[in-house]
Chains A and B, each alone.
Chain A
C-alpha cells in the first residue's frame, strides 16, 4: 500500500467517524438533557435530576398516548406481517395472472406520499360516514407497512429449498401442515424482521395519525408534536423520548450481537477470531 493510499484510508475513516458523531449528536443531546434539572434544554447543565421521568410517568395523557401507539404498532406489526406472508405466498405461486400488475399495486404504498394518503383516508372515512378512530389509524398503518413486510418475507420464501417442502409432503404432510411445520419455521427470522420494521413504521408515523386519530386520543407522535410546542411539557417528553431512543439502540445492539453470535457459530472461526468478534459486539453494545 502506497503512502497516498494510506492517507486516503485515514481520511475516509475520519470522514466516516465524523458522520457517526453528526448522526448521534442529536440522540446524545436528548439522552443528556433528559437528566437536566432545569426545564429548559440548554447548556450549561447546572444540576442533574430524574424528576422529569417521574413527572412523565405520572402524566396520564402522555402514558395513554404511549400505550395507544404501542397497541397500534403491535397490531400493525402482526397484521401487516400476516398480509406480507399471504402476498409472498401468492406471488411465489407458479401461476398468477397479471403478476406484474399485482406486484406494482402491492408495492404502490411505498411511493404514495403519506400526506396525500392521509388526507385521502380522511375523505374516505367521511365518505363512508365513519368517525375518526384509532382503528382507522391502524388500517392506514397496515397499508403503509405491508410493502415492507413483502420486501422482507418474499426473498426469504424464494430462497427456501423446495426439496424440504417436497420431503415433508413425501413423508405424508398435507399442504397446510407442511406449511406450518416446515415453511413457517424456516421463515421465522424474516418474520421477526418484518414485525419489527412494521412496528417501527407504525410507532413513528405522524402524518396519517395526525389526521385520523380522534381528538382526545392522540398517538404518541401526535401527542409529542402537540406537546413539544408547549415549554411546560417539553422536559417530560424529552425524558420519555430518551427512554425510547435508548431502548431502540439497545434492541439494535442486541440484534447485532445475536447475528454475530450465530455467524460465529456457523462459520466455526478460530478462537482468536471469535474473541475479536466478541469485542466487536461489545463495541456495538457500548455505543
Chain B
C-alpha cells in the first residue's frame, strides 16, 4: 500500500512531462525533419532526405545567414560581458553597502524588467534615440551639436542594438551576483583583512573568486535569450544590424522556405544548448545547492 502511494506521487510528473514532450520536443523533431527535407511546406515538392540545406549553410563559401550568425554571436558575447561587468558593482552595492533597505533597492533595480519589453524598446526607438528624440534634443540644447542635426549612429546601428539589449538585461544579471554575494561567508573576508590583506587584494583573492558562480550564472542568463533575439533589431536595428533570429523569422514570414528556416532554427537551438552545457559546468557548485538537483 505504502509503496504504491510513493509510486503514485511520482506519476504526477506525467502531465507536465507530456506537455513538454508534445509541444517542445515535437516541434524540434519536426524542425529536424524539415531541415533534411523529409517534410516540406512546398506543395508537390518531393520529400526525400537531402542535406543540401545544411551543406549550404555550413560549408558554402559565402553564406549571408552564417555571416549573420557570427555577427549575432559577437553582439551577444559583447552584451553578456558588458552587462556582467556593469551589474557587478550594482550587486556589490546591494550586498555590502546598501544596508537594511537592500531588498527594496534590489526590487527597484529589477522592477523595470517586469514591465513590457516591447514598450521599453519603443521608448528607446521613438522617444530617446530617434533623430528628434531626447538625446539629440539635449545635445542641441547645450550646443554640442548644430540644431537639427542628429547623431547618426544613435539609432539603427550596432550601438543602438547593444544599448537596448544591455539595458534590457542589466537588472536580471545583478540578481544571481547579488544572491551569491549575499550568501557569502563573511568570515573569510574578515580573515583576509585580519591577515593584513589590503581591501583591493581581499576583493580579488577572496570576494571575487567566491562570487564567480553568480557571475557565470548572470552571463548565461543574458547569453541564452540574446542569442535568439529578434525583437530589438526590428525597432532599433538598420538593415545591416539584423540578428540571426531575424533570419529565422524571415523564412517563416512572407516568402516562406520552412526547410531552410528549419536549418537555421535547429542550429540556433544546438548552439544555445552547447553554450549552456559549456558554462553549466562552471555552475556546478551553484546548481548542487539548487533544489532542482535531487540526490536521494
Contacts and interface: CB of A to CB of B under 8 A. Distances in A.
B291 A121 contact: no
Interface of B: 5-7, 9-17, 19-21, 23-28, 30-31, 34, 39, 41, 86, 89-90, 92-94, 97-98, 100-101, 103-105, 107-109, 111-112, 114-120, 122-124, 126-128, 132-134, 137, 167, 170-171, 199, 224-225, 227-228, 230-231, 234-235, 245, 248-249, 251-252, 258, 261-262, 265-266, 268-269, 272-273, 276, 291-294, 296
Contacts of B26: 120, 124
B296 A241 contact: no
Contacts of A204: 116-118
A108 B20 contact: yes
Interface string A207-248: 100010000000001001100100000100110010011001
A241 B41 contact: no
22 contacts: A19-B109, A26-B112, A29-B127, A30-B122, A41-B126, A92-B9, A95-B6, A103-B293, A103-B294, A108-B24, A115-B265, A119-B249, A123-B30, A139-B23, A143-B23, A151-B292, A155-B291, A206-B117, A225-B234, A228-B122, A234-B126, A245-B115
For chain A, what secondary structure do more than half of its interface residues adopt (helix, strand, loop), or is it mixed? helix
A119 B294 contact: no
B109 A20 contact: yes
Nearest to B34: A123
Contact of B272 (A5, A105, A111): A111
A15 B28 CA distance: 44
A244 B119 contact: yes
Contacts of A123: 27, 30-31, 34, 41, 258, 262
B248 A256 contact: no
B123 A287 contact: no
Contact of B17 (A106, A237, A280): A106
A16 B105 contact: yes
A154 interface: yes
A97 B269 contact: no
Nearest to A99: B294
A146 B16 CA distance: 8
Given A20-B109, A119-B31, A12 B291 contact: no
Contacts of B272: 111-113
Residue among A86, A93, A105 with the most chain B CB within 10 A? Answer: A93
A59 B94 CA distance: 44
B16 A106 contact: yes
B115 A154 contact: no
Contacts of B21: 105
A30 B123 CA distance: 6
Contact of A30 (B13, B41, B127, B265): B127
B107 to A, nearest CB: 5
Nearest to A107: B292
B30 A127 contact: yes
A20 B108 contact: yes
B128 A124 contact: no
A12 B92 contact: yes
A110 B258 CA distance: 24
Nearest to A224: B118
Contacts of B134: 29, 43
A83 interface: yes
A100 B294 CA distance: 8
B87 to A, nearest CB: 9
Given A19-B109, A29-B127, A111-B272, A244 B115 contact: yes
A221 B265 contact: no
A259 to B, nearest CB: 8
B268 to A, nearest CB: 5
A126 interface: yes
Contacts of B227: 113
B147 to A, nearest CB: 13
A67 interface: no
A15 B293 CA distance: 37
A9 B118 CA distance: 35
Given A20-B109, A113-B268, A123-B31, 7 more contacts: A29-B123, A29-B127, A30-B127, A151-B292, A244-B115, A245-B115, A252-B111
Contacts of A13: 93, 97
A16 B124 CA distance: 21
Interface string A60-99: 0000000000000000000000011011011111111101
Q: Which 10 A-B pairs have the closest CB atoms?
A: A120-B27, A113-B228, A90-B13, A26-B123, A90-B12, A93-B10, A93-B9, A87-B16, A116-B265, A96-B10
